[in-house]
Structure 1
Amino acid sequence: MQSPLNDESRELESIVSVAIVLLAAGEASRMGKGKAHKLLAEFDCVPLVRRAAMTALGADAVTVVVVTGHRGAEIESALSGLALISVENHDYASGMASSLIAGFGAAGVNNPHGVLVMLADMPWVTTADINALIATFRSSLGQAVVRAVSNGKPGNPVILPRSLADAVLRLVGDVGARHIVEMSGLPVIEVDIGEAAHMDVDTPEDVIDAGGILRA
């Protein structure tokens, strides 16, 4: 027979909710001026941004928000028909902070216990990886930062507890949430998801090496 304490812990874990914010607004400057957009590159005949969104939608999250910006109309077209919330970041050229602020300010993100921040240019992250992070966050009862690592090296995605939302909304410039994580004083739990934690595609060569096909 399970102890009442264990039963209570499992019940608390079951109500810990997570929203996903998928960042897809950047200028992709390393692709070269006027060149193909990396998020529109096709992996298994699917645009990378749609592939990432479908991966997120398959996970055990209450909401998926996609932040768009650069070439937003094309990104929106690639996401057509998916059951997600799309938020446009008009200030995307200022850097990642503005996209995080747009995502954290979206409807449906302020109520969950945590927000999983996911980069749209990481083709190897799977739904199983995301669910492993969410399960770990739930086991902490929503009181810890949970981040993907590979061989102990921090990567992405990362889950931030709701208590850090105000700090995210104060970010400025081309910075992510790493400083917030370091200064939060919260426990940081690492989940090894292998090379997927570091595999992003920033250049045309990266896209091709990762198995993608560039489109104009």
Structure 2
Amino acid sequence: MDRLNRYIRKIPGWLLYLIGTAYPVWLLYAAFSGDLGVDPVKAMEHALGKTGLQVLVAVLAISPLRRFAKINLLSWRRALGVIGFAYILLHFLVWMVLDVQILSQVWADIVKRPYIIVGMVSLMILLPLALTSNNWSVRKLGARWRLLHKATYGAVLLGGVHYIMQVKSFQYEPYVYLAVIVGLIALRRLPKKGIKQARKPSRPRPA
């Protein structure tokens, strides 16, 4: 496992960003080439939203993997978080600019469909996290930076709820995503061994 972790640490962050950029570029190419079906805009919208959620779930899994499987992906967490946010932002922009297009209709859809509100709240939570995912913000905010980034849990949880709400018929897959998200958050809350142990009552010393 130590050898695997050494290999992981050698992978530069720019390579992750390059791979992350390649996916929406491929989607755009597939849309123009006709590989996304009869409604390429909807296909791009759904693909970006689902992949963004998957990347953010992977971010949640980093700490449990390190704790329970001894796989250290901490060096990837910042890049994956930014990539996941970028996909969710593109998911929103494709819906607003390419799908709905008319500004008044955008507002009407937001009011009419509660799942859009849930998704937008999740996006708004992710926005300051993405903006502060840099060394300068870590130094400037200090301990508050870690506290701020705990909001990731709520944002990803809302993303899972958004996924469930937007499907028109029962599908098991969105519920699997939500169950995995809740499970990963619960794993992070488990006490570490040896930290919280019940203290045995001390026996009185003999006189």
Q: Same fold (TM over 0.5)?
A: no
TM-score, normalised with respect to structure 1: 0.25
Higher helix share: 2
TM-score, normalised with respect to structure 2: 0.26
Higher strand share: 1
